[in-house]
Structure 1
Amino acid sequence: MQYIYVISALILAIAVQQGAAIKCFVCNSHKDANCALDMPPDNLLKDCQEHYSSRDKGIPTFCRKITQVIEFAVNGLPPESRVIRTCGFLNQTSNSYCYQRAGFGGRQVVCSCDTDNCNGATSLSSSTVAVVGAAAVVLGALQWLQR
């Protein structure tokens, strides 16, 4: 029975995240083409608290990825797509992590997430993998204890 308490404490320690700022990719593909890559290079990764230390909005706790599409020429500018990755202070997607906006000649998809490096490629975050792995260890331990 002691094993269950120890393993449960380990899962809790892995799953709970600190309330500090996170690391996010910060870039704009209009200025740096590497920003549009599925997984941007590490030199675009920033500590959000340091990167936005001069703002009075508190500690950034979210990362964002914004994909913008301008569908036809406007004001002499050609149609284009942009990817903007940044830190966020408020999660504006209270029920889901992505939302879409559309208007005359353009649209954007805004996705927010709350783990380090999560505004890179769309994949499982490291904390999700850790929790799933810890759960697998617990199940294995429980089966071993029942023998």
Structure 2
Amino acid sequence: MKTLLGLICFSIASVVLFSTQVDGLQCYTCNSQNDSRCDSLRELGVFIKDCTEEPIGNSTLSPIMCRKILQTVEYSNMGTMETNTRVIRGCGWVDSNYTGRCYTRSGYGGRQVVCSCKGDNCNSSHVSLPTKSVVASLVIFLVMFYIVS
């Protein structure tokens, strides 16, 4: 019985780990500069978008992640520097070393914190959720520990 339970858990974890999302990645897509609801976690449902419906020019790239950007724009207003902070959520097409975590960029005129994640609607908050490979690896470890003990 213990072996059967272990085999079932291992099979489920393997399916989760090795399944790939072929189509239909959904992300929240909005800009709080244009719609203040983009900054609210309670009203994000109106911004869910299928990323395949948002092509980038003539590119054949497929969307692979969601992004959330916290952007602070600094500008001069009558001799004083003012800031405008906005939240930009959207789809991402290019994988990088920063996928699944956040990084900061800054320069003349502002700064931004860019967070990316893989999974439907994962760009709702600034907290990075564990990827399915981490969860599946944990499940496999626990099952193997359970079988051995």
Show the counterpart of 1:11. 13
Native 8 Å contact 1:39 1:120 kept in 2: no
User: Could you say if the C-alpha distance between residues 63 and 9 of structure 1 is closer, same or farther in structure 2, counting changes exceeding 3 Å?
Assistant: same
Which TM-score applies when normalising by structure 2?
0.74
Superposed, 1:5-84 pairs within 5 Å as 5-21=7-23, 22-38=25-41, 40-52=43-55, 55-73=58-76, 78-84=82-88
Task: Identify which range, 35-44 or 76-85, moves more after superposition.
Answer: 76-85
Could you tell me whether the CA contact under 8 Å between 2:100 and 2:118 is conserved in 1? no
- Of 91, 96, 103 in structure 2, the residue corresponding to residue 92 of structure 1 is 96
Structure 2: state its 5+ residue gaps. none
Give 1:18 shift.
1.8
Instruction: Tell me, in whole angstroms, the C-alpha distance in 2 between the residues paired with 1:101 and 1:53.
Output: 23
Instruction: Report the CA distance between 1:54 and its aligned residue.
Output: 6.3
Residue 61 (structure 1) shift: 0.6
Partner of 2:123: 119
Kindly tell me: are residues 70 and 116 of structure 1, through their superposed partners in 2, closer, same or farther at Cα, counting changes over 3 Å?
same
Q: 1:73 to 1:93 in 2, by over 3 A?
A: farther
Whether contact under 8 Å (1:25, 1:120) holds in the other structure is: yes
TM-score of the pair, normalised by structure 1: 0.75
- Partner-residue secondary structure (3-state), 1:4: helix
- Contact 1:20–1:59 (Cα < 8 Å) also in 2: no
Aligned residues with identical type, % of pairs: 31
Q: Distance in 2 between matches of 1:114 and 1:74?
A: 39
Which residue type is aligned with residue 107 of structure 2? G
RMSD: 3.5
Decide whether aligned partners of structure 1 residues 45 and 126 sit closer, same or farther in structure 2, where only a CA change above 3 A counts.
farther
The SS at the match of 1:69 is strand
Aligned residues: 144
Q: CA deviation at 1:29?
A: 0.3
Which segment drifts farther, 43-52 or 108-117?
A: 43-52
Quote how far apart the aligned CAs of 1:57 are: 3.6
How far apart are 1:34 and its partner, in Å?
0.9
